[in-house]
A and B are shown apart, each in its own frame.
Chain A
Amino acid sequence: MPIVVNLDIMLVKRGMKSKELAEIIGITTANMSILKSGKAKAVRFSTLEAICKALDCQPSDILEYVED
């Protein structure tokens, strides 16, 4: 998929573990790994909102378009 999820970079910048983030935004760790691995087919606006709020960032900091 040409949309890359840069959640790992943002997590390192904020010094947060993915498990912590999953707990804050209320998703399972299994879903968190789906999101990080790029297997996800869609992201709900509510999830994106919660991630941005928890990491204090913009959606563009997490999502990136890379041409195939």
Chain B
Amino acid sequence: MTKNTLLNIAIIISRIVKVLFVITAIAITSLYIYVQLDNNLFAEKQIMISKPVISNNYFSYFISGSETYQGLEKGENPFTVSQIEALSLFIYYIKILIVLLLSFIALNSFEKIILSVKKLETFSLKNVKRFRKIGFCILILFFLEGYTVIRFEYGMQKAIAFNYSSLIYVLIIFIVAEIFKEGYALQQENELTI
């Protein structure tokens, strides 16, 4: 199936998105390092965890809130980049990197599955494992993306935004993995029938 257009388009798209993930990771790392070195650039930039677009989704759940601590001078905005606690910023940076890494792993497995379909090795135990890997990645992403906390020197912002539709995707992916397992057993039986 070397000339299947759909498969080729899927492979090209997944490769492009993989490159975009890498570029994003590098950009975020550079930005993080830059903020550490030169605090003044975004110092007065205000941060507000906004309501995500995805909350329009029927299956999602969203709570956001902010609170300020005592000791703040009057008229001063507690939610600026310069006021973020170093540890909180680091955790947020690591979280974004993990999200990118998991997305990359899931996409990589998806690409390998498509390549195996092209080679007519669709029903193999490797593909069952790859589907499960994708399922686990999306499951971890569901929890990681759901909870965000940013601590400031004089305040805190948090958002809980679970997009439950991704749980349905996880379920579908795990079922597909089981289907592939069944397909592998059938193929084995077919191959060993002389």
**Residue count of chain B within 8 Å CB distance of chain A:** 5
Q: Is B194 an interface residue (CB 8 A)?
A: yes
Question: How far does the Cβ of A40 sit from chain B's closest Cβ, in whole Å?
Answer: 5
Question: How far does the Cβ of B184 sit from chain A's closest Cβ, in whole Å?
Answer: 14
Q: Is A47 an interface residue (CB 8 A)?
A: yes
A31 and B189 CA atoms in complex are apart in Å by: 13
Question: How far does the Cβ of A51 sit from chain B's closest Cβ, in whole Å?
Answer: 10
A35 and B194 CA atoms in complex are apart in Å by: 7
Q: Is A12 an interface residue (CB 8 A)?
A: no
A18 and B193 CA atoms in complex are apart in Å by: 18
Q: Is B192 an interface residue (CB 8 A)?
A: yes
Tell me the B167-194 residues at the A interface (CB within 8 Å): 188-189, 192-194
Q: Is A17 an interface residue (CB 8 A)?
A: no
**A42 and chain B: residue at smallest CB distance:** B193
A31 and B188 CA atoms in complex are apart in Å by: 13
Which residues of the partner chain B approach A19 to less than 8 Å between Cβ atoms? none
Which residues of the partner chain B approach A47 to less than 8 Å between Cβ atoms? 194
Question: How far does the Cβ of B186 sit from chain A's closest Cβ, in whole Å?
Answer: 11
User: What are 23 inter-chain pairs, A to B, with CB distance below 8 A?
Assistant: A27-B194, A31-B194, A32-B194, A34-B192, A34-B194, A35-B194, A39-B192, A40-B192, A40-B193, A40-B194, A41-B188, A41-B189, A41-B192, A41-B193, A42-B189, A42-B192, A42-B193, A42-B194, A43-B193, A43-B194, A44-B193, A44-B194, A47-B194
Binding site for A on B (CB under 8 A): 188-189, 192-194
